[in-house]
Amino acid sequence: METKEQEQKQMMKTTGMVALMGDLLCDTKKQKNDWKKRMLKAGIPDLDIPDDWDELSEDEKEKRLNKVISLARGGEDGQRSDA
């Protein structure tokens, strides 16, 4: 039987994996970033998106989203964790 903490960690990993699917399902960087943001917000309801999000470049959005995804999947350094 999983503990509450284990369930939360698994949910975070699952959210990260679903968010990464945007790289496969979407064509443009904007579409990929939009997908990742939507999936992260759905799986992490209290995720705080900065007020100036829409003013950031797509490259900066991608960098930030990928860091959140890495952390959600158990990484610590902002790099994708394949474990």
pLDDT tens sequence across 29-71: 999 999 999 999 999 988 999 999 999 999 999 999 999 999 9
Residue 79 resides in a domain: no
CA distances from 35 to 22, 24, 28, 30, 42 (A): 6, 11, 11, 9, 11
Residue 59 resides in a domain: yes
How far does Cα 75 stand from its chain's mean position? 12
pLDDT (tens digit per residue) in 6-35: 888 899 999 999 999 999 999 999 999 999
pTM reported for the whole predicted model = 0.82
Domain range spanning residue 66? 4-72
Residue 68 resides in a domain: yes
Task: Name the domain count of the chain.
Answer: 1
Q: What is the pLDDT of residue 8?
A: 87
> How many residues would you count in the chain?
83
Mention every residue, 6+ apart, whose C-beta is less than 8 A from residue 24: none
Residue 81 resides in a domain: no
